Structure 1
Amino acid sequence: MTGGDATGPGYGHGCLAYADPAALHALEVDQVTAGLAAGEQVWLVGPEEPEVTARRLTTVPGFTAARRRGDVRLLAVGQAYRHDEVVDPGTQVRAYVRATTEALTAGYTGLRVVAEATGLVRTAAQRDAFARYEHRIDHWMRHRPMSAVCAYDRRVLGDAAIAELACLHAQTNAEVLFRLHAGGDDAAVALGGELDPSNHLLFATALERADPRPEAGRLVFDASHLHFVDHRSLLRLRDHARRHDAVAVLRTRRTAPARLVELLGLTGIRVEVVR
């Protein structure tokens, strides 16, 4: 997967877009292996019958005993989410908070989830709600012992629908030019990749769904991994901050955004160049 600009301890929120089920199956093996080695409880959530999934995992050393102990749980989508309905973001986040707490109480070091979520995002309304949930859980996981990979089938959804979700992950193999995800320290969100005329609409949708909020009158965007930003995207950041009565602060390693703000005489947005 590409991206990887979120570097908190144990943090991981990835998105796998696949057309060949073998890619998903390989991911499951890797995640179960890594989770067991780390002492985590591992959940595999998907549309298949659990025994079908289990047969694929017999190559993982100790899998059968781990499943018997509850170290690995194979769950139908409806056991972890409201299947074929519109997910309530707050309710779903609370469900995973509870599951993580229960895993820690049981002696595990954390919770690791692989969720094949294609059936949860087939409609526009489902994707809108699920994208809002994705960003909320991303923030919660940023400093908690939970990690997740969300898998989406290209053959069912198509690249445009997957892009709506993939861009809200720190790591993804999907072909998206930018990523918007949980920020660290005082940053409301982090931005990576490129913001240019080709993705204005997708960026506007992602920003509206994430709906980052300011602190002390400042809405900080960590753009240290953003390689390019055009003036329209700067205006979107500024206007979003203004709706919350705040000043937008773009924290970047590049000097070009500061020159652009100065050249256009933009107010309501400040650029902090960091090294």
Structure 2
Amino acid sequence: MRRSGFVDTVDGSVCHDHICWVFDTPEEFRQLSARFLIEGLAAGQQVLYLEDAARKTELDHIDGFGSARRRGAADVQDLAIYEAELPADPAAPARAFVRACQQAVADGYTGLRVAADVTSLVRDPGRAASFARYEHLIDTHMARHPLTGMCGFHRGRLNATTIAELACLHPLASNGSTPLRLFSTAQAGISAVLAGEVDFYGRSLLHSALTRVDLTPVGGEVIIDARELSFIDHQGLLECVEHIRGKGAATVLHLAADSSTRLLLELLHLPDVRVVMS
């Protein structure tokens, strides 16, 4: 199972982690990224840093990064290389990272680790929507390939709603960025994991996330792992069930033994919802 939750450090990140990190200054994120990537090098991963107008030597002052870059274990790229294709086809850069990961493994690395300041790609609402779709697609790939990633969002250049709508598509998010997460898993048969809290504010985030993730029915059902869901109100629950119903499918919720959601479902008597306690 992938790690998920709210984090106050990126130290100790492992393969399949996908972190949303909200930062206050670009230099703060560069330093954090350097630690994140150096840790990846120590784990045998190839690493990549992405930033708007980044120089190849951007992180060479960090011990070990310059030498790793010169031998091909590390790289720095300008974020603009992905800017043109994202609105037209959000899946294209996701596929590109999978190919890069596969090449890294073929070259003898244990996987690929990427840190990117993506703020410039999401300042426009339309591009933010395309990027949110990309976030789900790359998260699905991260759950199934030896990919590790950290996406950085500048708090001072983005509004809180935009940040939350993007943060909630990550299994790991910095504290205060979003109250909930809806993300991918490699668990067989599970369409997505829903975690955190869905309250009055969270309902709009849940609606946004549901429009951007691929909840494809299997055998007439969409199975959601909600064992890390700490709270959901009845309107949030109906939002999820009605979205899945719109796909012509029934909802299956995997719940923790002590989940209060089971009591809520018993009160609502929804005919097309099945509960699995685990």
**TM-score for the superposition, normalised by structure 2:** 0.89
Partner of 2:265: 261
Cα distance change of structure 1 residues 188 and 153 upon mapping to structure 2, 3 Å threshold: same
Cα distance change of structure 1 residues 152 and 84 upon mapping to structure 2, 3 Å threshold: farther
- Using the aligned pairs only, state the percent identity: 35
Deviation at 1:214, TM superposition (A): 1.6
Partner of 2:244: 241
Match status 1:12 vs 2:14: no
**Counterpart contact for 1:4–1:171, Cα < 8 Å:** yes
Partner of 2:10: none
The within-5 A match list for 1:7-86 is: 10-51=15-56, 53-54=58-59, 57-60=60-63, 62-79=64-81, 81-83=82-84, 86=87
Match status 1:107 vs 2:111: no
Deviation at 1:105, TM superposition (A): 1.8
**Counterpart contact for 2:101–2:111, Cα < 8 Å:** yes
Partner of 2:11: none
Task: Give the 3-state SS of the residue equivalent to 2:227 in structure 1.
Answer: strand
Cα distance change of structure 1 residues 127 and 260 upon mapping to structure 2, 3 Å threshold: same
Deviation at 1:148, TM superposition (A): 0.7
Unaligned 5+ segments in structure 1 are: none
Partner of 1:208: 211
Task: Give the 3-state SS of the residue equivalent to 1:39 in structure 2.
Answer: coil
Deviation at 1:22, TM superposition (A): 3.7
Which whole-Å CA distance do the structure 2 matches of 1:41 and 1:2 have between them? 23
The total of aligned residue pairs comes to 267
The within-5 A match list for 1:115-134 is: 115-134=116-135
**Counterpart contact for 2:52–2:78, Cα < 8 Å:** yes
Amino acid in the other structure paired with 2:42: A
Amino acid in the other structure paired with 1:180: L
Task: Give the 3-state SS of the residue equivalent to 1:142 in structure 2.
Answer: helix
Cα distance change of structure 1 residues 255 and 110 upon mapping to structure 2, 3 Å threshold: closer
Bigger mean CA deviation after superposition, 147-156 or 210-219: 210-219
Q: Comparing both structures, which one devotes a greater share of its residues to helix?
A: 1
Task: Give the 3-state SS of the residue equivalent to 1:129 in structure 2.
Answer: helix
Deviation at 1:21, TM superposition (A): 2.7
Deviation at 1:139, TM superposition (A): 0.9
Cα distance change of structure 1 residues 2 and 240 upon mapping to structure 2, 3 Å threshold: closer
Task: Give the 3-state SS of the residue equivalent to 1:248 in structure 2.
Answer: strand
Task: Give the 3-state SS of the residue equivalent to 2:61 in structure 1.
Answer: helix
Partner of 2:149: 148
Deviation at 1:107, TM superposition (A): 1.6
Which whole-Å CA distance do the structure 2 matches of 1:138 and 1:51 have between them? 26
**Counterpart contact for 1:83–1:120, Cα < 8 Å:** no
Partner of 1:137: 138
Cα distance change of structure 1 residues 87 and 112 upon mapping to structure 2, 3 Å threshold: farther
Amino acid in the other structure paired with 1:121: V
Amino acid in the other structure paired with 1:238: V
Which whole-Å CA distance do the structure 1 matches of 2:54 and 2:270 have between them? 56
Task: Give the 3-state SS of the residue equivalent to 2:96 in structure 1.
Answer: helix
Task: Give the 3-state SS of the residue equivalent to 2:114 in structure 1.
Answer: strand
Cα distance change of structure 1 residues 4 and 107 upon mapping to structure 2, 3 Å threshold: farther
Partner of 1:160: 161
Which whole-Å CA distance do the structure 1 matches of 2:69 and 2:15 have between them? 23
Deviation at 1:23, TM superposition (A): 2.7
Task: Give the 3-state SS of the residue equivalent to 2:251 in structure 1.
Answer: strand
Cα distance change of structure 1 residues 87 and 192 upon mapping to structure 2, 3 Å threshold: farther
Task: Give the 3-state SS of the residue equivalent to 1:114 in structure 2.
Answer: strand
Cα distance change of structure 1 residues 2 and 211 upon mapping to structure 2, 3 Å threshold: closer
